[in-house]
Structure 1
Amino acid sequence: MNFFKTFKSDTWVKPYIKQYKGLLITALLLGLMTSFCAAALMFTSGYTIDKAATHPINILLIYIPILLTRAFGIGRPVFKYIERLMSHNWVLKVTSDLRTRLYKNLEGDASFFTEHHKTGDIMGLLSEDISHLQNLYLRTVFPAVISYLLTIVASLALGVFNPSFGFFVFLLLFVEVFLVPLISVTIESARRAYQKEVKNDLYIQLTDNILGVDDWVVSGRKKDFKNLTSKNIKSLDSSKNKSKAFRRNRDFGLQLVFVAIVVCFLIFTNLTMTHNQAQANFVSAVVLAIFPLSDAIIPVSQGFEEWPLYKDSINRLNTVQPVTNNLPKQVTINPKDFNSISLNNVTFEYDSNSPILIKNFSQNIHKGEKLALLGPSGIGKTTILQLILGDLSPQQGQIQVNDFDISQIQENREQIFSVLNQKPFLFNTTLMNNVRLGNEQKSDAAIKQAIERVGLKDLIESLPDKYNTIVGENGARFSGGEQERIALARILLQDAPVVLLDEPTVGLDPITENELLETFFDVLQDKTIIWVTHHLQGIKHVDHVVFMNDKGIEMEGSPQQLYQTNSHFKELYQMDQGI
């Protein structure tokens, strides 16, 4: 009942079985042919040995069985190889579609998804659930269907010669391919569900620990950090050991049942096939033919016992539904035609309990203008950048680019906006590849020119591998300021007219910060810049300053004007400069 309930409203498994049903049927038939060739190989081998032992008067009497033995000996690995190619091709097609669909769904509304799932859950979803569906086909569906077909075919074939014995063998095979797998899934269901839960908890713990590792190191609690997951790991290992013990005992029991089938065949063939020499030659052939069936039948139970993992993965994937695209008709703005960004009486609040409230915020930012947004942490400065990008939608008011609503340019917004935030992510590949992310169409010469413009040429050319230097995981090879310069080189390649700077120099020492700001405003002098910052270092580079507090805009104007006319601004500036 659980099985049918899981698939009743499923949209992640059934559609792809129908979509690629031709390839699926072919793979199953090839699997059946593999087992048939294995059984036929043993049959013809047994017959040839028996027939040869009776000293036939002519070698031609066993020539045909010898040829068949060779044919089935070749056919078994050939069919097995082709079956593996077809089945894995089918599975890879399906899982490729599944992964594409999953990423599109998450990309469509990542913020909505993270509101309902923890980061560790997302990691589990991406790393395990699709793989579980892949294993569902390879370890459960294919072996089970092939074993059921073999059971039916073998029982019917025996039933032609002796209906009673055919039915008796069917009952024994029924125990192997249906009853024991059901017992396995019943016993292991709770245990596998527990293991899945513990692994998800580990994902969540490890995610939190890795993201907060600096705090653990600073606090000196290295031992506590190491012991955080030890309890869950021990529980998981203990549960897995119990599963292994059960699996060993179950497989031994299945082997005993198969031995009982062999004994039954020995008794049956000796009672019915020993009336003359011609019949006796088939005794060992018939008995040997059933041995290869164990390779197809016994693995079925192992596939069934993993059903709780598959069920959980299917249920979780079915909670990920595509987000309806509510965007209006999209327009494309030529970057050269950009002239302004307008925020008109924008009001935004995450929820009634959120400390962030942006109310009636208005600004007109013209081409080439440099705007700085200042204010205490948590006041909504970064939220304004998200509103400008279109990642968030205001509850009231309007945001426009060239008189087009921001929602109308979402499909091609990377042509207008580039973003540099507090911690740009650098991939564990070469420096050239990391910078090339800004624009994959640019030549190596253009990339090197961008690196030179951000002031990294001398450093890079002093390294052994120069521009092919591996930057390390998350840019570990370079300092914080150097990482920001690499990210700035990306922006130069992207060449969008508007650059959003979200506190890119936070955490840097004052000298490095000042040098970096000089570089930013020098290489981006022809761009429109909206800069979120928490203090007044480098404020001389901007044309307009907007200082926000929890009630709205406290003051705004050019830095020079504010310094002359606003005592609060002058006091903050002098404090920041250490005057």
Structure 2
Amino acid sequence: MTKLAIIQLLKKDKWVLPYFKRYKVALVTALALGFLTFFCSVALMFNSGFLISKSASLPSNILLVYIPIVLTRTFGIGRPLFRYLERLTSHHWVLKMTSSLRKRLYLALEQDAVFLKNRVRLGDIMGILSQDINYLQNLYLRTIFPTIIAWICYFCIIVLLGFVSLSFALLVSGYLLIVLLVVPFLSLSINGERETQMKEMKAELYRDVTDNVLGVSDWIFSQRGKDYVTKHEESEAKLQEIQSKVKRFNNRRAFLTDAFFGILVLFVLIWSSSTFHGNHGGSANWIAAFVLAVFPISEIFSGLATASQEVTTYSDSIRRLNDLPQTTDATSNHLEVPERFDLMINELSFSYEHKSVLNQLSLVIPQGQKLAILGPSGSGKSTLLTLIRGDLAPQEGSVLIDGHKISDFGETISDMISVIQQSPYLFNTSILNNVRLGNEKASVEEVWSALEKVGLKEMVSSLPKGLETLVDEAGLRFSGGERHRMALARILLQDCPIVLLDEPTLGLDPITEMDLLDTVMKTLDGKTIIWVTHHLKGVSMVDQVIFLEKGKLTMSGSPQDLLQTNERYRQLKRIDDGEDTVSIS
């Protein structure tokens, strides 16, 4: 991708370009200070060369070199001063811009955080936060600012040289265009693709590391931990190989660039010697001035090649930001919480990598109904809960609440649906803070009330610090039943009308399991409960039971009706009670 291509991309950009206009005063100030820094550098060397030559010619009066002495001091002070102010202004401008960019990115993603994984991977978001925004900082600091300043300086140099010698000015203009255009073009052609590969590899590493850290238990349980480490090391080795190629090319280019300006010094020396000559100084005093002025010129032009080869990474970062879902700052586009919470599932289908999990499933769950979902592993139970929650988008069909799609509610979905997972997570903070996750505004009295309803008040009261007792990471100091009850207390404070139970009793002993189920059903009475379970323990407490098999509904009805009319259900019940040994799956 060329610089013209990134200009075309910026014209359609909705993330980066607006900050050019918003902070244009600071932008112009940074560019002006950058030019003044360069001007002071060249003027300092030019004036110093003249002063040295003039002093060596034994001036008859100290006043003849007084002005060059004052100018040397002035430019000597001005160069670091303007450099500091330019860095201060440009970095302040860029950091202010990227700070606003990060805030906007957070707000854009946070509004639809519930549905985020429908559209983007978490690793991609990590890549944008860790890489892309940093690349955009470099877009300004290493490409836009230096390029604009370099071209301004280029035209100033040619114009000033034109007053001395038009022919030499034209020669220098063509010679410097090699550094301004040819070398950056070659860098972009050779190293640009490598820079893109490096960025893609880093992004892929972020995705892999994020996905694998979240699924580290799968690697451990499958005993493939070494495979993951080997795969990661191979990716790192490929990245390092490309980085080495980039560095080798950069080193060779830096050597050739230095040689290029060394030749320019010889050109200027030859030209100035033939142009300025005389006895005991005179016009010859200008030879050193012009020769020394070349050295600061090389400083500003030599960095353009490096900036040019990174254009492809900048364009990719801008494209990735603009590919993110565009959301407004207001939540008016999202539906408010409805008056009723009837759930309707219409011809719902979903597949994982061409493996069908749900197939044209239709179901109606009235408000306040307690529904148990059973079925063998892989039948689509947990996927159905995920679709109801909105964490996945249906590939076909729809999930409706009060006639509206789940996705239409946006962030308000968290006010309607809450979840108790198989292993509720407790954080390494106090019991009070853990329970208040359901409602941060809940009073201490409300927390105690919730704990009392789930049967934990007596246990927590007996602890030395009560609600202020610290919970170990993941809540390991509590039993499985206590962790589930604490999670249930959160749900009570959250007070959502629909509660999803994803096998919450898995791994509990039968007595604890039945005790917990009884507590759940009683404390959540009147709410819609959708309970995924792997057996029939406690299903007599629900209003409706459905059985999923290969993504289809194969059995439905109340527990009492099914027990009387459905032979297969009776067989499953006997198996669950230990009265039969026939496989149910």
Q: Place the TM-score, normalised by the shorter chain, in its bin.
A: 0.7 to 0.9
1:309 aligns with 2:313: yes
Q: Deviations over 1:201-229 (max 9, x none)?
A: 54454455434433433344443332123
Q: How does 1:393-542 map to 2 (within 5 A)?
A: 399-401=400-402, 409-410=409-410, 412-422=412-422, 437-442=437-442, 455=456, 471=473, 487-488=487-488, 490-506=490-506, 517=517, 520-521=520-521, 524=524, 527-539=527-539, 542=542
Indicate the residue corresponding to 1:83 in structure 2: 86
| CA deviation after TM superposition for structure 1 residue 246, in Å | 1.2
Contact 2:112/2:410 (CA < 8 Å) preserved in 1?
A: no
Higher relative contact order (CA 8 A, sep 6+): 2
Instruction: Provide Cα deviations, 1:459-503, integer angstroms capped at 9, x if missing partner.
Output: 99789x96677848xx89998777656655543443334322233
Deviation at 1:75, TM superposition (A): 2.7
Query: Match for residue 239 of structure 1?
Result: 242
Checking the alignment, whether the CA contact within 8 Å between 1:358 and 1:552 is kept in structure 2 is no
Note if 1:174 corresponds to 2:177. Answer: yes
2: distance between equivalents of 1:394 and 1:493?
Answer: 34
Instruction: Provide closer, same or farther for how the CA distance between residues 153 and 305 of structure 1 changes in structure 2, counting only shifts above 3 A.
Output: same
1:376 Cα offset (Å) = 3.2
- Matches of 2:449 and 2:69 in 1, distance apart? 73
Q: Are the counterparts in 1 of residues 201 and 235 from structure 2 also a CA contact under 8 Å?
A: yes
Displacement of 1:22 in angstroms is: 4.0
Cα deviation for residue 504 of structure 1 reads 3.6
Give the deviation of 1:30 after TM superposition: 1.8
Counterpart CA distance in 1 for 2:69 and 2:313 is 47
1:332-351 equivalence runs, <5 A:
332-333=336-337, 340-344=340-344, 346-350=346-350
Q: Does the C-alpha gap of structure 1 residues 233 and 410 become closer, same or farther in structure 2, counting only changes over 3 Å? A: closer
Cα root mean square deviation, aligned? 4.6
Q: Return the offset for 1:302.
A: 1.0
Amino acid at match of 1:296: I
Q: 3-state SS of the aligned residue for 2:531? A: strand
Matches within 5 A, 1:34-45: 34-45=37-48
The answer on whether the counterparts of 1:357 and 1:379 sit within 8 Å (CA) in structure 2 is no
The range that moved more, 176-185 or 309-318, is: 309-318
Asked if 1:552 corresponds to 2:553, the answer is yes
Superposition deviation, residue 252 in structure 1: 0.8
Aligned partner of 1:153 in structure 2 is: 156
CA distance in 2, matches of 1:232, 1:460: 53
Contact in 2 for aligned 1:346/1:394 (Cα 8 Å): no
1:142-200 per-residue CA deviation (whole Å, 9 max, x = no partner) reads 22221122112112111111112222222232222221111111122343344344445
Aligned identity (percent) is: 43
Q: Which amino acid aligns with 2:221?
A: V
Matched to 1:304, the amino acid is S
Cα 1:529/1:75, change in 2 over 3 Å: farther
Equivalent residue of 1:350, what SS? strand
Equivalent in 364, 367, 373 of residue 365 of structure 1: 367
Aligned runs of 1:18-167 on 2, under 5 Å?
Answer: 18=21, 20-51=23-54, 62-96=65-99, 98-99=101-102, 123-167=126-170
Q: Encode CA deviations 1:308-357: one digit per residue, 9 max, x unaligned.
A: 323444444454464899x99765448xxx6x532357332237973412
C-alpha separation between the residues in 1 aligned to 2:293 and 2:430? 58
- For the 8 Å contact 2:346–2:362, the answer to whether it is kept is yes
Q: Does 1:290 align with 2:294?
A: yes
TM-score normalised to structure 1 length: 0.79
Q: Secondary structure at the match of 2:234?
A: helix
Q: AA paired with 2:148?
A: V
Any unmatched runs of 5+ in structure 1?
Answer: none
C-alpha deviation, 1:255, in angstroms = 0.7
From the superposition, tell whether residues 404 and 199 of structure 1 become closer, same or farther in structure 2 (CA, over 3 Å): closer
- Amino acid paired to 1:172: Y
- Mind listing any 5+ residue stretches in structure 2 that lack a counterpart? 580-585
CA gap of 1:175–1:479, structure 2 versus 1, over 3 A, is farther
Assess, with a 3 A threshold, how the Cα gap between structure 1 residues 415 and 201 changes in structure 2: closer, same or farther: closer
On the 8 A contact 2:53/2:281 being kept in 1, the answer is no
Query: Would you say how many aligned residue pairs link Structure 1 and Structure 2?
Result: 568
d(CA) in 1 for partners of 2:399, 2:214: 36
